[in-house]
Amino acid sequence: MIVDKKDRLLFMGDSITDSNRNYQAIPAGWSSWGDGYVHLINAYTTALLPQMELMIVNRGISGDTVVDLKKRWKDDVLAFQPDWVTIMIGVNDVWRHFDGTFAQTELVGIERFESELRDLIAQTLPSVKGMILLTPFMVEANKEDPLREMLTNYQHVLAKVAQEYGILLGDTQEKFDDFLLYQSSYVLSSDRVHPSTAGHVLIAKTWLETVGILEERP
């Protein structure tokens, strides 16, 4: 386990991280975690590691791309002085290429995605104990689906950047793919992106294994 007693663990991302959190709640206060994987991680660490007194902070905002994260990084991340920062981002950067063209939404190409991600990591690493990247995912078994195929390239960027900076990477896509060997995608998501509670369990499990709180098991 890499975390220490009283560490501040901050989670940044889009709607999957946000998951209906209360923006008016104090950090790590009631309803501040939302109802997704951050909430589950907080529940697990609070109940089973009470001696650690970990502070779990959710800074996800629905709809965000990596460009949006950068705009609020100084205020929402660096100013909080966290010990560990987890980033889950990328699905909106890809999704907007499919559902945002007629709205003339700003599209984030893969080169800019990598550049912005590198900048966020470079800004953050000197002031934290470490960072964790969680891959964006699609609840889609067909790897040739156009959206999933594009997302795979963004996932590869995350893996490459994590390796180069020596930071932890949690492969959430692998967890969803394993599930889809046995059950329909509709058990985990109605739109292939936003997960059910069961889907959030898979994300939470990925994170807990990545940081060594849970032992990885099939």
If we measure between CA atoms, which residue out of 119, 159, 139 comes closest to residue 16?
139
Instruction: List strands edge to edge, sheet with 55-58.
Output: 55-58, 8-13, 84-88, 130-134, 168-170
Q: Measured between alpha carbons, how far is residue 134 from residues 17, 31, 53, 194 in Å? A: 11, 23, 23, 15
The one catalytic residue in 171, 185, 194, 200 is 194
Q: Are strands 130-134 and 8-13 parallel, antiparallel or unpaired?
A: unpaired
Is 194 a catalytic site residue? Answer: yes
The one catalytic residue in 14, 15, 19, 185 is 15
29 vs 164: CA distance, rounded Å: 35
Is 97 a catalytic site residue? Answer: no
| Residues recognised as catalytic | 15, 191, 194
